[in-house]
Amino acid sequence: MDSLESGQKELKERVERTETKIDGITGQVASNTEQMKELRNEQQLIKQAVMETNESVKQLKTIQDSQHRIIELLSARSLEQESELRDLKRVK
């Protein structure tokens, strides 16, 4: 009889340890789930920031292209005016 009681006691202790481990694992899974939700929220914020930055970069590129065309036009005009000035100096 002692052997049976001893076996039951040992089995009960093993079940309690297993339940304790399961409780710990369940808690960790809940914690991981919450962290995943937070990461997804942060990922959405980062994604939005990247999209906004991308749009700003596109706008800057458009402005830069426009400024480049203006600089080329002004450069051509400057060269033309220098040429005209040289021609006028020769005429004098």
CA pair distance 3, 13, nearest whole angstrom: 15
77 pLDDT more than 90: yes
CA angle (35 as vertex; 32, 36 as ends), nearest 5 = 85
The reported pLDDT for the residue numbered 26 is 97
CA pair distance 55, 49, nearest whole angstrom: 10
92 pLDDT more than 80: no
pLDDT band at 81 (very low <50, low <70, confident <90, very high): very high
* DSSP label of 19: H
pLDDT band at 76 (very low <50, low <70, confident <90, very high): very high
